[in-house]
Every structure is written in structure tokens, then in C-alpha cells.
């Protein structure tokens, strides 16, 4: 039963999000964002990616931290395992996006969360990337996300929050729909 006498606090500023939605409805050009990352090869399969600036709300945006991400492959791939594999970063993106969405949707619906954990697992037949079988795709054959959520809400309400989070998730969309990718060399 949705009979809350208090306001849920999941640490999400819903008023700001709702305000941004209204403002950007009026000025859709401000909604045009560009997200960026720059990746430097280190050695072997180890590379280091920085994420700092982005474009949005009509101008270049900077942030306080230059985030760094090491990516590599595990030792079974004869690599040095200096970071998560790129395909694991895809899982990081998907899980973080859905989980953040759950916090936001729950806040909007005044549902207090106590804990949320996503367990993500992707199936991959590496005969694809190794070029053994051309009928096998390189990427994930399927991804499963399992949420464990403790919240002041019924199972149906929690399921509805999780469903809405998928509906509004950028990474869920990126993973489930094709995207045009253009790669060039300078």
C-alpha cells in the first residue's frame, strides 16, 4: 500500500530533474549533449581511458575530477589483468544506469529505498572474437540483470520501478538497440 506519511529520501533531487525536463521542453537545443572519452594505449591489451568534459545545455561543461579507467584482459587471455575487460565496462554501464534510474524513479514515486543491488551477467561465446566460428557473434549473446531491492513498497511497485528504469535508461537502450558507429583515423 502506498500510504506514506513521510517523504522518501533516496538522495535524488527530483525537483531539479523535473525542472530540467520542463526547461528543456521549451529549449530542445539545450538538450543536445555530447559525451566523450579519450583512450590511450599503455601496453599489451592495457589501456587507460579518461573522462572529463562533455557538451550540454548549449556549452562545454567541465567537472572537478578527471576520471581514469584502466582496461585490460585477464591472465587467461595471456594479458596482465590491469583493469576490467572492456566488455565488463559495458556491464558496469548497464548496471549503474539501471540502478541510478531505480533511485530516481523511486524518489519520484516517493518510495524509500534501503538497498539496491544489481547482479549482472552476460553470456559470451568467445569463438566469435577469436574468429573460430563466423556464425558466432563477437558481443554478448544475452545479458541478465537481477535486482535485489529492499524498499518501502509492494513487489508490484518495485517491479514497476524497475520496468520504468529500463524504459528510461540510456545504456539499456544502447545495449538493446543498434547504434550507428563511425570510426575514422586521423
Binding site for another protein (CB under 8 A): 28, 142, 156, 159-160, 163-164, 166-167, 172-173, 175-178
CB of 36 to another protein, least distance (A): 24
| Phi, psi for residue 181 in degrees, rounded to 5 | -125, 130
Report in angstroms how near the CB of residue 152 gets to another protein at its nearest.
18
Question: Which residue has 587471455 as its cell numbers?
Answer: 77
User: Nearer to another protein by C-beta: 71 or 105?
Assistant: 105
Three-state SS for the chain is: CCCCCCCCCCCCCHHHHHHHHHHHHHCHHHHCCECCCEEEEEECCEEEEEECCEEECCEEECCCCCEEEEECCCHHHCCCCCCECHHHHHHHHHHHHHHHHHHHHHHHCCCCEEEEEEEEEEECCCCCCCCCCCCCCCCCCEEEEEEEEEECCCHHHHHHHHHHHHHCCHHHHHHHCCCCCCCCCC
Which lies closer to another protein via its Cβ, residue 71 or residue 94?
Answer: 94
Nearer to another protein, 71 or 116 (CB): 116
Answer positive or negative: Cα dihedral of 69, 75, 79, 85.
Answer: negative
CB closer to another protein out of 155 and 184:
155
Least CB distance to another protein at residue 44 (A): 32
Q: Give the shortest CB-121-to-another protein separation in angstroms.
A: 15
Task: Match 545495449 to its residue by C-alpha cell.
Answer: 175
What is the nearest approach in angstroms of another protein to the Cβ of residue 89?
19
Pick 45 or 165: Cβ nearer another protein? 165
Whichever of 60 and 159 has its CB closer to another protein, that residue is 159
As measured in angstroms, the least distance from the Cβ of 20 to another protein is: 15
Amino acid at each position: 500500500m502506498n500510504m506514506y506519511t513521510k517523504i522518501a529520501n533516496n538522495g535524488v533531487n527530483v525537483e531539479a530533474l523535473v525542472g530540467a525536463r520542463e526547461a528543456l521542453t521549451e529549449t530542445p537545443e539545450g538538450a543536445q549533449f555530447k559525451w566523450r572519452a579519450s583512450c590511450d594505449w599503455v601496453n599489451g591489451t592495457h589501456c587507460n581511458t579518461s573522462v572529463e568534459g562533455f557538451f550540454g545545455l548549449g556549452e562545454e561543461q567541465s567537472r572537478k575530477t578527471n576520471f581514469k579507467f584502466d582496461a585490460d584482459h585477464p591472465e587467461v587471455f595471456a594479458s596482465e589483468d590491469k583493469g576490467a575487460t572492456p566488455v565488463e565496462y559495458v556491464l558496469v554501464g548497464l548496471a549503474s544506469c539501471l540502478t541510478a534510474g531505480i533511485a530516481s524513479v523511486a524518489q519520484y514515486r516517493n518510495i524509500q529505498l534501503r538497498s539496491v543491488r544489481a547482479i549482472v551477467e552476460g553470456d559470451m561465446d568467445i569463438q566469435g572474437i577469436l574468429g573460430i566460428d563466423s556464425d558466432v557473434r563477437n558481443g554478448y549473446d544475452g545479458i541478465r540483470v537481477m535486482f535485489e531491492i529492499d524498499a518501502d513498497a509492494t513487489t508490484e511497485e518495485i517491479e514497476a520501478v524497475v520496468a520504468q528504469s529500463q524504459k528510461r535508461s540510456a545504456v539499456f537502450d544502447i545495449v538493446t538497440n543498434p547504434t550507428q558507429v563511425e570510426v575514422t583515423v586521423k
